Amino acid sequence: MRYHWNQGSLEVARNKVMRLLKQEKDPVKRDFYSKTIDAINQNIFLEYYKYEYKAKPFMNRVVDAANGQVGYNRFVNVICDIQSQVSKVYDEISDVASREDILAGMNPELFSFKRYTHDETVELTRKFYNGFDRELAKKFMKVYSDRYNSIKYVPNQKRNIFDTFDLSGYCVGIGGIGKNFMSIGNYEGIYKVGCTVHECGHAIKNLIVPEKTVSDGVDFIGEVESIFPEMIFYHEMGKDIDPFQSAYHMFGYSMIYYESASNVIFQKLIIDKWLQNNCKFDKSVYDSLKEDYNMTRSDVRESIGIDVTDEGPYVISFAIVMELLNLYKKDKDKALYLYKKLISIPPTEDPLVTLLKYENDLCGFEHLATEYSEISQEYKKQLIRKM
C-alpha cells in the first residue's frame, strides 16, 4: 500500500461534507460545514501556508492578537522570560558548536542517519502513542486505520530541518467527517518519526474537537497538541533509537524558539505603540518607536513581516510544553491529565483563558530555564561523545 492522498481524495471529502450540509438544519453546524467546504475549495492543501498565514490582512490579526485575547499580555511576559533564559543557554553552548554549524545540519559525518521506511515510521508512531496514553492511543488508531489515505510523505527541498519549523509538515482536519490530511517531509533519521508524531498530535486533536478544525482565529496554544507528544517522543523513544539524534532535535527546538521569542517581543513593541496611537500607523508611531527603541522604519517593516500570529502559537505552546515536560518527569498522570484538558477546549472558550486556570499546575512557567538547560546539557554531552 502507498501512503498517498491527492486532489481526488479531497473531492471525495468535500462531497461528503456537502451531503452533510444538505441534510443539516442547525445553523451553527451549517456554518461549520460551509466553512469547511470553502476551505477545501480555496485549495488550502496546495497553498496551505500562503493562504493561512500570508494572505490575510496583517492589521486585522494584530487587533485580534492584542485586544481579543485576554491572556495575551500575560504570555508576552512569559515569552520575554523564555528569551532571556534561552539566551544564557545559547551562549553557554557556543563553545561546543557554532550556531551556523548547528543550523546547517552540523558536520554531515556526524549524522549518518538511518532511513526509516514509511511503514517503519508509522509503526514507530503507533508504538509511541500506545505507550503514551490509552485514550489517545484509541484516537490514534482511527488515524492509523486510515493511514494510507491520510498521510503522504513528500520530498524535502530544504537545506536542513531547522530552516523553517513546521513547514516540515502540516495536518488539515475535515472535522465534519472525522478525516485528516497530513503531508510530511520525507526526512532521514528519527526526525521523520518525530514529524509524524507531531502531525498525528494535530490529527488526534481534530478528532477530539472536530468543530475546531477549520477556524478563523489564531489559537495561541494550538501547537501544544503536537509539540508535547513530539518532545516526549524525543525524550523517551529517541533515547532507545539514537540518543544523539534525540538530543539534537530537542536542542534544535530550543534554538528555534529562542529566535522566535525575540521576534514576538519585537512585534509586541510595535503593537503597543500602535494601540497607544489609537490604532493608527502614522508618522507618530514610527517617531516614538525610533525615540524609545531606536527602531528604524525598515526595522518596523521587517518585524511586521514576521507576524506575531505566525510565531506566537509556537513560542507560547513551547513554553507550556516545557512545563508539561517538567511535570511529566515527576507525575506522568497529572501531566497527561492537563495535556488532555488543554487539547479538549471547546471552540466556545478562549484557550488562553482556560489555560490560565491551570497556571498553578503549570508552576507559573518557572521551569523554562531548568528544562532548557537540561536539554542543552544533554545535547552537549551527546555531541562530545559522538566526536
- DSSP lists the bridge partners of residue 183 as 152, 170
Nearest residue to Zn ion, by Cβ distance, number only: 226
Query: How far is Cα 174 from Cα 185, in angstroms, rounded to an integer?
Result: 21
CB 224, min distance to Zn ion, A: 10
| Count of residues engaged in binding Zn ion, rule: CB under 5 A | 2
Alpha-helical segments (H) within the chain: 7-23, 27-41, 48-49, 58-63, 72-93, 99-103, 118-132, 134-145, 147-150, 191-208, 224-232, 238-241, 243-276, 283-293, 297-306, 308-330, 332-342, 351-357, 368-386
Q: Which stretch binds Zn ion (CB under 5 A): 220-228, 265-273, 302-310, 322-330?
A: 220-228
Q: How far is the CB of 170 from Zn ion (least distance, A)?
A: 7
Contact 64, 218 (CB under 8 A): yes
Least Å distance, CB 225 to Zn ion, is 8
Q: Which is nearer to Zn ion, 226 or 262 (CB)?
A: 226
Shortest separation between residue 45's beta carbon and Zn ion, angstroms: 15
Choice between 97 and 204, CB closer to Zn ion: 204
Choice between 24 and 166, CB closer to Zn ion: 166
Residue 314 C-beta: closest distance to Zn ion, Å: 8
| Residue 185, phi then psi, degrees to nearest 5 | -65, 140
Q: Which among 75, 20, 10, 14 has a CA at the least distance from the CA of 313?
A: 75
With CA atoms as reference, report the closest residue to 248 among 86, 378, 89. Answer: 378
Given the complex with Zn ion, which of 252 and 295 has the nearer CB atom? 252
In this complex, which beta carbon is closest to Zn ion, that of residue 226 or of residue 303?
226
What is the residue-wise DSSP string for 40-94? HHTTTTTTHHIIIIISS-HHHHHHIIIII-TTHHHHHHHHHHHHHHHHHHHHHHT
Count Cα neighbours of 234 within 13 Å in the Cβ-side half-sphere: 27
Q: How far is the CB of 100 from Zn ion (least distance, A)?
A: 26
Three-state SS for 3-53 is CCCCHHHHHHHHHHHHHHHHHCCCHHHHHHHHHHHHHHHCCCCCCHHHHHH
Least distance in angstroms from the C-beta of 169 to Zn ion:
7
d(CA 7, CA 11): 6
Query: Are the CB atoms for 232 and 132 separated by under 8 Å?
Result: yes
Q: Which residues in 253-292 contact Zn ion (CB under 5 A)?
A: none
Cβ-contact 86, 254 below 8 angstroms = yes
Question: Is residue 183 within the footprint of Zn ion (CB under 5 A)?
Answer: no
Tell me the per-residue interface mask from 44 to 63 with Zn ion, x by CB under 5 A, - otherwise.
--------------------
| Nearest approach, Cβ of residue 202 and Zn ion (Å) | 6
- Residue 166 or 350: which CB sits closer to Zn ion? 166
Q: Which residue, 97 or 221, has its beta carbon nearer to Zn ion? A: 221
Distance CA 8, CA 40 (A): 12
- Burial pattern 211-226, b for ≥16 Cβ within 10 A else e, equals ebbbeebbbbbbbbbb
The footprint of Zn ion on residues 200-219 (CB under 5 A) is none
Q: Which is nearer to Zn ion, 256 or 270 (CB)?
A: 256
Rounded to a whole number of angstroms, the minimum distance from the CB of residue 198 to Zn ion is 6
Stretch that binds Zn ion, among 71-79, 83-91, 221-229, 248-256 (CB under 5 A): 221-229
- Region of 153-161, 226-234, 305-313, 324-332 interacting with Zn ion (CB under 5 A): 226-234
Contact track, Zn ion, 302-341, x by CB under 5 A: ----------------------------------------
Nearer to Zn ion, 304 or 324 (CB): 324
> Looking only at residues 112 through 171 of this chain, which bind Zn ion when binding is defined by CB under 5 A?
166
Which one of residues 149, 226, 246, 382 is an interface residue with Zn ion (CB under 5 A)? 226
Residue number, 189 or 194, with CB nearest to Zn ion: 194
User: Could you tell me the smallest distance in angstroms from the CB atom of residue 265 to Zn ion?
Assistant: 22
Interacting residue ranges for Zn ion, rule: CB under 5 A: 166, 226
